Amino acid sequence: MAHRLSHLDTLASEAIHIIREVVAEFERPALLFSGGKDSAVLLHLATKACWPQRVPFPVVHVDTGHNFPEVLEYRDQQVNKLEVRLVVGSVQEDIDRGSIVEQPVPGATRNRLQTFTLLRVLEENRYDAILGGGRRDEEKARAKERVFSLRDEFGQWDPRAQRPELWNIYNTRHRPGEHFRVFPLSNWAELDIWQYVEEQHLELPSIYFAHRRTVFRHSGMLLAVGPWTQPRDGVASEQAFEATVRYRTVGDMTCTAAVESTASTPAEIIVETAVTRVSERGATRADDRFSDAAMEDRKREGYF
Amino acid sequence: MELLRFATGGSVDDGKSTLIGRLLYDSKQIFQDQLEAVQRTSVARGDDYVDLALLTDGLRAEREQGITIDVAYRYFSTPKRRFIIADTPGHTQHTRNMVTGCSTADLVLLLIDARAGATEQTRRHAMIASLLGIRHLVLCVNKMDLVGYSKERFDQIVDDFTGFAERLQVYDLTCIPISALAGDNVVDRSSEMPWYGGLSLLDHLEGVHIGSDRNLIDLRFPVQLVIRPISNEYRDFRGYAGIIASGVLGVGDEVVALPSGFSSHVVSIDGPDGPLQEAFPPQSVVVRLEDDLDISRGDMLCRPNNRPNVGQDVSAMICWMAEAPLRAGSTFAIKQTTRWARALVRSLQYRLDVNALHRDSRASELELNDIGRVHLRTTAPLFYDEYRDNKATGSFVLVDEQTNATVAAGMLRRPTL
């Protein structure tokens, strides 16, 4: 028998090694779970890394209040199945408390606001390492981030002061108040995620697969007609219509767009992903379209 | 499908980012929206043509200054292989990035400008690749279009570089004449250079044999985590989790635990997807033993008659990565496999002059980006092999105990008596 690993097995072993390193070297780790496919794969790998123990750290969800109901349902179902502890940080509560102020525009995105809630939850629970499903192929600023990415007392990322990261020897030392964001899926690409979902028969929120939905076009993107997003009155190009769509990423309903697709299984999505000509964030995320450096700026502020 | 990781090196204007942009673009990994963003930036800057280098420059300062600051990781795949590129900047002061990129690479791709030939920087990067134990070197002589696709020029550069590489430990050197800008010999063979009988760069990357690069002989299993579930179902479960650093471990094998020296037999091995009869690098597994030995994180399993070196006085080549220079007498935290200890730099043997491959034994310190040979005394014994034989057990990092910064990458040498 040849001693060869497939690329997926290699990536999975690498991710498990990173998760175990977190369990071994940190006192209060947690896993950031959005209900999206990357965090689903991450949680799945965490169960493998800790097997046959239950995942010994909590799962943190930052609830913007603008979530897809299918995603919240999926979150609760996974948390129950794996018997992990769920910690929810509510952006709405922070708004109600007056800690953050929402832009007075109907359907304003809460993308930037969630950074405050995330940092508050991290601080209140004194987490010293947060596992996240970020991938380097997602975006140019992410491509330069370390697997173990140090954040200062304010949760900020300083791209120019990153520690060199050599071999698979991770330097986890930090001062009190600082914490690490840890990205075990750094080296995974979108296609790897789908191949792994298929191989492992992972469950995902239903919105990832083709379904009928009432949508409208807004600056070239297909947004769902929902409580926070409606076509503007009198704008002819924003006529609502019903279409067969799926989502490539899961974010807020206000800033996540659908793509027209009939792919209803991971295998069909893999075929589509292999030939698609638009990146997943470019196609579907209004939050990354503001400028070439949108992600870099948000990361500097403490965003994931 | 197999995974190939490679790092890129070369001087600032050799066209590295353009080549990567070309590989991604021609292998259809660049998405339309990413290309349009690059086109917009190129137009705004007044470039004559679309600058594919912009695809890899991720940070604002990089785009503004047109330079690459940090290692950027890029991903693409073909039907034959899945690739990870560590794109390392070409500035002299960023040697530490080259070391970082090489530390996880199977292969290094060096770019040379056909007009300039091999520079100091090319030699420096080749030397770092050799030091980091990279077995496969690909020399891409770029900008062949600017020298009239001249065979003579290519042969001259190759001959010159081969002369230098003879003094390094390079097992496999492949030289390819290319034009990243025009796409010659990158994905497809170029019609401009009928005299070149070799493969295109991508064909070479798809085919190069890396299966033998791992050490499958010397079993080393550094214990990463002891798993003892607190549950009724697994009441007596005691598993040792970690990555197989080298060698092959099978169920039933006799193993010795270090530092205790007690031996036992492997009862079971569990991989990510279930029980295995055999495990090999780089698999993450959980190993159970017949006997209840006292084993904790940082310990190592090996075979009774094939053990690593065990010692507190070690000799190593290090690449210094901090602004403040290294002097003998300093103390650091050291991490090697899954162990942390403290290390005192007892002496600096020499500083390596990377350009002349000359050893400067009068050097009293190592500055940022210097490479040198040191003797260390550690507070706890290390279980290690010579880096050349075993990257996983022969590598370490030094960490500044005040700032917690990673200040050196180290490669252990065999003990000298």
Q: Is A154 exposed, middle or buried (0-12, 13-18, 19+ CB in 10 A)?
A: exposed
- Dihedral of CA atoms A132, A136, A138, A142 in degrees, nearest 10, equals 80
Question: Residue B417 domain-assigned?
Answer: no
Q: Where are the alpha helices (DSSP H) in chain A?
A: 7-25, 37-50, 69-82, 91-96, 113-125, 190-199, 266-275, 280-284, 294-301
Q: Identify the three-state secondary structure at position B230.
A: coil
Distance CA A150, CA A144 (A): 13
* Mean pLDDT for chain B overall: 89
CB-CB under 8 Å, A276 with B283 = no
- Indicate the range of A52-66, A239-253, B20-34 predicted with least confidence: B20-34
Average pLDDT over residues B176-186: 92
A43 and A120 belong to one structural domain? yes
- Cβ-Cβ contacts under 8 Å, B404 against chain A: 171, 173-175
Contact between A49 and A16 under an 8 Å Cβ cutoff? The reply is yes
CB-CB under 8 Å, A20 with B230 = no
Distance CA A254, CA A250 (A): 11
**CATH number of domain containing B279:** 2.40.30.10
| Domain boundary residue, one of B244, B273, B302 | B302
Q: Half-sphere exposure of A220 toward its Cβ, with a 13 Å CA cutoff?
A: 8
B158 and B109 belong to one structural domain? yes
Question: Is residue A86 pLDDT above 80, yes or no?
Answer: yes
**Among B102, B122, B111, which Cα is nearest to B185's?**
B111
B163 and B232 belong to one structural domain? no
Question: Residue A163 domain-assigned?
Answer: yes
Distance CA B13, CA B80 (A): 31
Distance CA B91, CA B98 (A): 10
B110 and B257 belong to one structural domain? no
High-pLDDT (> 70) share of chain B, %? 90
A40 and A102 belong to one structural domain? yes
Contact between A135 and A38 under an 8 Å Cβ cutoff? The reply is yes
| Domain boundary residue, one of B154, B186, B213 | B213
- Cβ-Cβ contacts under 8 Å, A141 against chain B: 58-59
Q: What distance in Å separates residue B59's CA from the closest CA in chain A?
A: 6
B285 and B226 belong to one structural domain? yes
- Cβ-Cβ contacts under 8 Å, A282 against chain B: 31-34
B294 and B314 belong to one structural domain? no
B105 and B251 belong to one structural domain? no
Q: What distance in Å separates residue B102's CA from the closest CA in chain A?
A: 9
* Mean pLDDT for chain A overall: 87
Q: Identify the three-state secondary structure at position B326.
A: strand
Question: Is residue B285 pLDDT above 60, yes or no?
Answer: yes
Residue B374 pLDDT grade (very low, low, confident, very high; cuts 50, 70, 90): very high
Average pLDDT over residues B173-179: 96
Question: Is residue A297 pLDDT above 70, yes or no?
Answer: no
High-pLDDT (> 70) share of chain A, %? 88
B327-B328-B330 Cα angle (round to 5): 80
B406 and B286 belong to one structural domain? no
Question: Is residue A279 pLDDT above 70, yes or no?
Answer: no
- For residue B113, what are its two tokens? 């400008």
Contact between A225 and A216 under an 8 Å Cβ cutoff? The reply is yes
| Domain boundary residue, one of B213, B244, B273 | B213
The one-letter amino acid at A41:
V
A89-A14-B279 Cα angle (round to 5): 135
Residue A61 pLDDT grade (very low, low, confident, very high; cuts 50, 70, 90): very high
B209 and B242 belong to one structural domain? no
Question: Residue A3 domain-assigned?
Answer: no
- Cβ-Cβ contacts under 8 Å, B82 against chain A: 7, 192
**Most confident range, picked from A85-94, B158-167, B278-287, B362-371:** B278-287
Q: Which domain holds residue A47?
A: 8-193+293-301
DSSP annotation string for B208-222: ---GGGS--SS-BEE
- Indicate the range of A16-30, B16-30, B237-251 predicted with least confidence: B16-30
A148 and A59 belong to one structural domain? yes
A22 and A122 belong to one structural domain? yes
CB-CB under 8 Å, B336 with A7 = no
B185 and B75 belong to one structural domain? yes
Residue A142 pLDDT grade (very low, low, confident, very high; cuts 50, 70, 90): confident
Place of tokens 């003892």: B228
Residue of A nearest to B214 (CA): A3
B84 and B199 belong to one structural domain? yes
Q: What distance in Å separates residue A90's CA from the closest CA in chain B?
A: 31
**Among B298, B289, B228, B286, which Cα is nearest to B259's?**
B298
Number of domains within chain A: 2
Which among B61, B233, B409 has CB closest to A166?
B409
State the pLDDT at residue A290.
43
CB-CB under 8 Å, B103 with A189 = no
Question: Residue A198 domain-assigned?
Answer: no
Q: Which domain holds residue B244?
A: 221-302
Distance CA A53, CA A204 (A): 23
Reported as type and span, the H/E element at residue B129 is helix B120-131
B248 and B334 belong to one structural domain? no
pLDDT, tens digit, 9 for 90 and up, residues A187-221:
999 889 999 999 999 999 999 999 999 998 887 78
Number of domains within chain B: 3
- For residue B330, what are its two tokens? 């300093």
Q: Give the residue from A51, A160, A166 with the most B CB atoms within 10 Å of its CB, the best one to mutate.
A: A166
Question: Residue B92 domain-assigned?
Answer: yes
pLDDT, tens digit, 9 for 90 and up, residues B192-202:
999 999 999 99
Distance CA A117, CA B134 (A): 45
Distance CA B190, CA B85 (A): 23
The one-letter amino acid at B257:
A
Q: How many CB atoms lie within 10 A of CB B213?
A: 16
B89 or B127: which leads in pLDDT: B127
Contact between A209 and A264 under an 8 Å Cβ cutoff? The reply is yes
State the pLDDT at residue B345.
97
A63 and A141 belong to one structural domain? yes
Strands B300-302 and B249-250, by their bridges, are: unpaired
CB-CB under 8 Å, A52 with B57 = no
pLDDT, tens digit, 9 for 90 and up, residues B302-350:
999 999 999 999 999 999 999 999 999 999 999 999 999 999 999 999 9
A223 and A275 belong to one structural domain? yes
Q: How many CB atoms lie within 10 A of CB A47?
A: 16
- Indicate the range of A193-207, B26-40, B113-127, B139-153 predicted with least confidence: B26-40
Question: Is residue A75 pLDDT above 90, yes or no?
Answer: yes
Sequence-distant (6+) residues with CB within 8 A of B221 are B240, B242, B244, B245, B247, B249, B255, B287, B300, B301, B302
State the pLDDT at residue A150.
93
